[in-house]
Structure 1
């Protein structure tokens, strides 16, 4: 809160007159706010943008979030942001030597945003967001949320640096005519997440997905070049606010694309890690295959170790079935309002409680006849493969829709800029 107000104070004292509205908002209920929901944190941020101010969606061009900003978590600082803002931020940071006196190794840009802070709720609501990265280093393991997180770890130089860095970023975004969203970065990351050899083996049509991501990346790059030229031209105008009016519709389309991307491609696994739609099931399939091979070779304990990593089946190792089902249903069978920012982000679940109990029993009895367990795993593999095929097909359709939107932007003559100096 003090950092936020410090930036506001500095902007006022410097005489800065923003072209856009800047909202200062201290979110509540960041650590906890919803009983008996897997997604019980970041409640205030989700409520703020989903219930209190839903009209912010599609209008707010950037959200700046702050977490532990007065502590140096290492020799290198980082801004964690959505894929689409990585290029713009890197261009602002590049070659300036920013932060070298506080962070000898400079400032990096990381993607994507994670679920540990409020910026995730903002991003999936359609507001491109960023946060000073705070999860690296030992502090999170040894001091975070403990009595050892005290004044001894306050670093004035780091705190001042973050005032200056994010104050400058606020001004940089304020000077843009169009939100500097680069969808190329998103589609390149999506392409990197693909396992073409695996999709070829399973007949999942991964090659088609690869071709679509490459086309979408190319179009995303072309659109970003248009936006970059528009923003460069705007900075040379005597009355930039009048110039911005010409491109208000373009920004609205870009923001719609961003929301579409967040809805289509941002998924979570059962450990709250952000992933693309096909990744969680593909990981499951590989673990299932490992478990099958273990049982075929008579290694029950090895199979259990693989099964432990499938969805939330680790609960089956330590709890009874009622508890296991509870911690499954509170994700799969709750209304969206209770799931908040996690609603719809986990699509599939494989219940292996019975299989775990069977294998644990066989290990206790030293029984190496795994015929029944192998049959179960073969059915699980078939089910997960069907989910994987559906995910790939779903992504193909989602990317095709985004490609169409990107083409409409590149083909719109009124949004093209040929001279950045006039």
Structure 2
């Protein structure tokens, strides 16, 4: 048996290398110990520590004082005087007996080069064995006759703690019925409004309500408390669509309506079909689409949303638009994949359709040879004041009923949506059923949420998705925000082509997830272990929770899904590997139960300031007269948060050993956990802002803008307009060169004018950072440069205005973030943690 197999062990280099491929640099404390032989004074992270018994050589092997190492690395150790044994780890994974040449590791016998001994009342142990057991690395320096030990004690202890099964875990895992979830997903897929069994169960439609009721009834049948939570939304219900080429009526071209816009009557529209490439303004130059239907090769590299395609061709007079995906989505090798998505833009008064790439390219080739006249119809029902339903199931907690662990998926879907999101909802229902069937009595209230309108739910706004979860969190934030340990969002799992189980996590839960997953059985995947990314996104319901300061984690989506068949009729059960689905099922069941029974919130509050500090450009800040106070405040908070992490890990280890808490400790523990959730909530909400739909820190967003605008001014002062057009990039152009002004403005109006807009911000409200309305300025530079005009007086004035505004916003962001880190430091419950430790020691 190799020592690296037991739970105390972490081979740091391997772990870090694996994680670094998908995550930022680790922030967790590294420990460096310099142990000279036969000297009582040693150095720990540069500070002097005195040993009662020094390290020394016995029988040709280096022995070191055990208590010193375990104390420094926060590893639980117990001494049994009767048996002359020392046990390491909360679960007793390692047992050393004095004067014995073997040790026990996870119940197996391991040979030692030399035994542990007692000298001057202290236990000395073989260095090579103990450093491997504690996940450390030891290097012998022959010249100085000393040992250099490096370790990551937080990681080592966390893995040892978080991989331990909890009470009832084996019983719930045994009660899982994977076929139940699979069959539930198939039943969801059979619900739909579309005429040819392609599905479409959109929010607030008959199909959407049937899907919600399927979850609601299933909760009640399995014995889970359930409630329907109604909310208002825009109901868009596709029924049928079709296309006929009048010159070639026997040629079959499949089409579906694009979500959002109104359709046609049963007669449809008949007009000439005109191919316009990517529908950029360059493609459309000189083309009159009046009374015609545009065929568009949509490519998100040039046009980021379907709404922009519609608006571009509508401005040219088109009465309809038919798009296919040239790149980005819908690239399945068959060429048969549709791709539809939320509208995400201003409303439009023409119908829009999608056809698979194979047929779009065929039509483009046909149009190169001869004109075509087509008839297109789209039957769509619209209810602007519809009612959607979120379904919430609960298993009440028996110890902390007002604390929550939340898992969620969504019942609405484009097409049948087996992976997005039928199977994830089925997985969630299976967990709930297994907990009931196993008689599991959770410590905290287990919450199971089937959201509606994740895909689409309002019109005439960029932010038209996540409407169901946004409404539910608006209703429940007073109860859930600040009281929820974690939320798990399930999306797009079990794909046959995914080699390793993928997850992603917010900063707060990242440390726990990295360590907890070390013990997961991922049988079914080709590669062992779990791929973990450190990110939060706004493209799924996790954001509605994160917006309100709730720590989140989520399944991570395989790129091959999104690129090839996401949001298409090809998202079917035949693309899922059943064994990979089962591995996901067991993993998320385990994770949910570990969150339920964690004695102390498993939060790493030091990781967000670590990433924040990495994002700061101090040179740019100094150029704006902003000093190092912000970096110092964030670093001070990070140090305090790391101290607190040491304490919460030690508390977790001690509490896991105890069968019953003293009365005072039992009262102090929930108060400490509440304080931990409070600071997590504060930092999450104050550190997450939006550049359109991407999450970013305030100062990070603004810190380079003044210099960007100053660079543009200097180019213009030198008469060099070309360099401005070439080098002014994000955040700068925002696709400006591809759109007409009206299309461009409608795409970014929320970020440009968020202060004056009201009801179309939804989940971006209060979080949008400033985009600059520089379109006409860039156009003027482009025109003057083409004409050889180097008088950029007006354009310089415009950029000076942008710069002044950016400088003011940066200065305000700096002040706000400085105050945030200072207040966050004051919120850290270090004193409470210390007091609780004193109560249970």
TM-score between the two structures when normalised by the length of structure 1: 0.88
User: Is residue 66 of structure 1 aligned with residue 487 of structure 2?
Assistant: no
**Equivalent residue for 1:40?**
464
Per-residue Cα deviation, 1:208-232 (whole angstroms, up to 9, x for no partner): 1111111101111122222223333
Whether 2:831 is the aligned partner of 1:411: answer yes
Deviation at 1:239, TM superposition (A): 4.6
Is this contact kept in 2: 1:287–1:309, CA < 8 A?
no
1:237 and 2:661 are equivalent in the alignment: no
Contact 2:620 2:707 survives alignment (8 Å): no
Residue of structure 1 aligned with 2:540, choices 106, 117, 137: 117
Number of the residue aligned with 1:392:
814
Alignment of 1:326-405 (within 5 A): 327-329=748-750, 331-335=754-758, 338-405=760-827
After superposition, the C-alpha distances for 1:274-294 in whole angstroms (9 at most, x for unaligned) are 111112223433543443454
Cα contact 2:716–2:792 (8 A) shared by 1: yes
Deviation at 1:71, TM superposition (A): 1.4
Question: Which of these residues, 306, 310, 320, is aligned with residue 731 of structure 2?
Answer: 310
Partner of 1:209 in structure 2? 630
Q: Does 1:222 align with 2:643?
A: yes
Give the aligned partner of residue 256 of structure 1.
678
Query: What's the offset of the Cα at 1:53?
Result: 5.6
**Residue 238 of structure 1 aligns to a residue in which SS?**
coil
2:574 and 2:483 map into 1 onto residues whose CA distance is 40
Equivalent residue for 1:49?
A: 473
Answer yes or no: is the 8 Å Cα contact 2:483–2:674 preserved in 1.
yes
Higher relative contact order (CA 8 A, sep 6+): 1
Q: Return the alpha-carbon distance in structure 2 between the equivalents of residues 112 and 239 of structure 1.
A: 38
Instruction: Give the whole-Å Cα distance in 1 for the aligned partners of 2:584 and 2:444.
Output: 22
SS at the partner of 2:837? coil
Given that residues 301 and 363 in structure 1 are in contact (C-alpha distance below 8 angstroms), is that contact kept between their aligned partners in structure 2?
yes
> Displacement, 1:149?
2.4
Structure 2: gaps spanning 5 or more residues: 1-424
- Asked if 1:200 corresponds to 2:622, the answer is yes
Q: Is the 8 A contact 2:713 2:799 kept in 1?
A: yes
Aligned twin of 2:21: none
Match of 1:132 among 552, 555, 580: 555
Structure 1 residues without counterparts, runs of 5 or longer: none
Paired position in structure 2 for 1:169: 591
Q: In the alignment, what sits opposite 1:291?
A: 712
What is the CA deviation profile of residues 369-421 of structure 1, one whole-angstrom value per residue up to 9, with x for unaligned ones? 43432333233223212221221121111111111112xx212376431697x
Change (3 A) 1:208 1:98: farther
Deviation digits for residues 343-379 of structure 1, max 9, x if unmatched? 1111433221331221232144243443432333233
* CA-atom RMSD in angstroms: 2.8
C-alpha distance after superposition, 1:305-344 (max 9, x if no partner): 4445336753575223586268415744333x64232111
Describe the SS at the equivalent of 1:113: coil
Helix, strand or coil at the partner of 2:485 = coil
Do the aligned residues in 2 keep the contact of 1:313 with 1:352 (CA within 8 Å)? no
Partner of 2:60: none
Contact 2:523 2:583 in 1 (8 A): no
The CA distance in 1 between the partners of 2:787 and 2:620, in whole Å, is: 36
In structure 1, what is the Cα distance between the partners aligned to 2:838 and 2:476? 42
- SS of equivalent to 1:412: helix
Task: State the partner residue of 2:698.
Answer: 277
CA contact (8 A) 1:216 1:403 kept: yes
TM-score by length of 2: 0.46
Measure how far apart 1:100 and its partner are.
6.3
Preserved CA contact (<8 Å) 1:316 1:324: no
Q: Per-residue deviation at 1:130?
A: 0.8
Paired with 1:23 and 1:333, the residues of 2 have a C-alpha distance of 37
State the 1:144 CA deviation: 1.1
Instruction: Write out aligned runs for 1:142-161 (5 A).
Output: 142-161=564-583
| Aligned equivalent of 1:182 | 604
Aligned-pair CA distance for 1:35: 2.0
How far does the alpha carbon of each residue in 1:129-156 deviate from its partner, in whole angstroms, 9 at most, with x for none?
A: 110111x423212221123323332121
Higher strand share: 2
SS of residue paired to 1:64: strand
Alpha-carbon contact 1:58-1:127 (below 8 Å) kept: yes
Equivalents in 2 of 1:107, 1:297: separation in Å? 54
Q: Which has the higher helix share?
A: 1
Once residues 795 and 532 of structure 2 are traced to their aligned partners in structure 1, the CA distance between those partners, rounded to angstroms, is 46
Partners of 1:212 and 1:399 within 8 A in 2 = yes
Secondary structure at the aligned position of 1:230 is classed as helix
* Counterpart secondary structure, 1:22: strand
Q: Which shifted more, 148-157 or 231-240? A: 231-240
CA contact (8 A) 1:34 1:40 kept: yes
Q: 1:404 to 1:365 in 2, by over 3 A?
A: same
Cα pair 1:290 1:306 within 8 Å, conserved: no
Q: Secondary structure at the match of 1:25?
A: strand
